[in-house]
Amino acid sequence: MSWYANSEKSCDTSVVLSSRVRLARNVSGIPMGERMSDEQARDICDRAGAVFTGFDRIDFDRLDRATAQSYAEEHLVSAEFASSTRPHTLYKNEDGDVYVMVCEEDHFRIQSITPGYSVRVAYERAAGAANAVGEAFPIAFDPELGYLTHCPTNLGTAMRASVMMFLPAMTRRGGMPQLSRQLAKLGMTVRGMYGEGSEATGCLYQISNQITLGISEDETISKLCEIVDFIIAQEQKLRGELASRAQYETADACARAYGTLTHARIMSCREFMDLWVDARLGVAMKDNLDTGIPDNVTLSLLDTALIESQPSVLTLLSGGGEMSPRERDIRRAAILRERLSEKR
């Protein structure tokens, strides 16, 4: 079960879709990145199998391009990991909340992705897997510099904690550049999930820590949560203003977006992303807005549609054969009609 499926049953995802924590670990005495030989990489990938018993093993260098790319579109692996041709393996647990990239830029990148606002739970899961790696391999560690990583930006805890946030009200009020500047001063960073900076589409942003040395895991998470709490409050306040000052205009935009999503016959990814934002906002604000979007259309249904509409996932859903962009746009519209229509 991925982070986006059935998430709202266990938590509120109207602003925070998911939380994630990633820990990097390297094995002492073995080169990293380009300096590691294919044999050394394969050896680590194989030996990791003994650590992650019960996990699915996926050798990415043996996957076809669309399947590899689909993991990146689901945000389960990095784009670099999906496209690399060297031996590299993904181990994922049965619950679908722990993913271990072996031989990415660091030997191990252990990440846990949990639905909603649950950074501590994600840390707990990732740390558990990282400890298991530490019991099986001699881990490169320095008392002054912490965990030793390929890139010095990750030294220290080698931890990146983040939340994925849906911020349509703040984006439209032009608040993102200012937020970005303020976060930078606090050692945090914001980036668009799709597209870059203020040009981000989908109004989806990842907020994460930038600094990893001189600050403990717990302090990092506390600091991140303080900032996320503040952003949630601002976004909710702005959504409240939309509901009170532009009730009909907002409801109209959300209802029209939903209507197009469920009636179009051909839809590009870009058009979809824009409509998706309004439809998701409508569902998130359904207590305050009369959008007429049926009750079976939930936030998690829309989040699943977002992933299924990405090119490689869509191609795989359609059988995996070659598709032209036009064929994909037609197929995307068909999937959306099927998934998002009213079910009685």
Partner 1 sequence: MLCEKCGKNEATIRYSEIVNGKKTEMALCADCAKEMGISADPFDGFGDIFGTGSLLSNFFGNALSSPTRRSSAAERRCPVCGASMYEIQKLGKVGCAECYTTFRNELLPTIRRIHGDVKFKGASPASPVNDEAAKKARELDSLRDELSAAIKNEDFEHAAQLRDKIRELEK
Using CB under 8 A, which residues numbered 87 to 146 contact partner 1? 105-106, 109, 117-121, 123-124, 127, 130-131, 134, 139-146
Q: Rounded to the nearest whole angstrom, what is the least distance from the CB of residue 290 to partner 1 in the complex?
A: 28
- Binding of residue 177 to partner 1 (CB under 8 A): no
Residue in 75, 88, 92, 286 binding partner 1, rule: CB under 8 A: 75
Q: Does 31 bind partner 1 (CB under 8 A)?
A: yes
* Beta carbon nearer to partner 1, 194 or 247: 194
Question: What is the nearest approach in angstroms of partner 1 to the Cβ of residue 233?
Answer: 13
Judged by CB under 8 A, the residue of 5, 11, 266, 335 near partner 1 is 11
Strand ranges for the chain from DSSP E: 16-25, 56-59, 89-92, 98-102, 108-115, 141-142, 146-147, 159-166, 188-194, 201-209
Min separation Cβ 115 and partner 1, Å: 11
Among 82, 231, 261, 264, binds partner 1 (CB under 8 A): 82
Residue 20 near partner 1 by CB under 8 A: yes
Which of these, 65, 37, 15, lies nearest to 312 by C-alpha position?
65
Minimum CB distance to partner 1 smaller for 174 or for 248 = 174
- Distance in angstroms (rounded) separating the CA atoms of residues 314 and 311: 5
Question: What are the angstrom distances between the C-alpha of 125 and each of 132, 160, 319, 321?
Answer: 11, 14, 34, 36
Q: What is the smallest separation between the CB atom of 294 and partner 1, expressed in angstroms?
A: 27
Q: How far is the CB of 319 from partner 1 (least distance, A)?
A: 17
User: What's the distance, CA 62 to chain centroid?
Assistant: 24
Q: Residue 48: exposed, middle, or buried by beta-carbon count in 10 A (0-12, 13-18, 19+)?
A: buried
CA–CA separation, 239 and 37 (whole Å) = 53
Q: Is 266 in the site for partner 1 (CB under 8 A)?
A: no
Closest distance of CB 147 from partner 1, Å: 8
Binds partner 1 (CB under 8 A): choice among 90, 110, 156, 242: 156
Tell me if residue 319 falls in helix, strand or coil: coil
Q: Is residue 337 within the footprint of partner 1 (CB under 8 A)?
A: no
Task: Give min distance, CB of 300 to partner 1, in A.
Answer: 18
State the first-to-last Cα distance of the chain, in angstroms, to the nearest integer.
Answer: 25
Angstrom distance (rounded) from CA 175 to CA 43: 48
Options 48-56, 206-214, 247-255, 278-286: segment touching partner 1 (CB under 8 A): 206-214
Stretches 44-52, 187-195, 237-245, 298-306: which one binds partner 1 (CB under 8 A)?
A: 187-195
Exactly one of 58, 63, 186, 211 binds partner 1 (CB under 8 A); that residue is 211
- With beta carbons less than 8 A apart as the criterion, state whether 129 and 44 touch: no
Output 213 or 316, the one with its CB closest to partner 1: 213
The closest of 257, 259, 266 to 331, measured between CA atoms, is: 266
**Cβ 304 vs Cβ 313: under 8 Å:** no
Q: Nearer to partner 1 by C-beta: 127 or 335?
A: 127
User: Nearest distance from residue 295's CB to partner 1, in Å?
Assistant: 22
The residue among 240, 256, 341 whose CA lies nearest residue 289 is: 240
Kindly identify the residues of this chain, within the stretch 286-305, that bind partner 1 according to CB under 8 A.
none
**SS3 label, residue 25:** strand
Residue 78 in the binding site for partner 1 (CB under 8 A) = yes
Structure tokens at 183: 């976060």
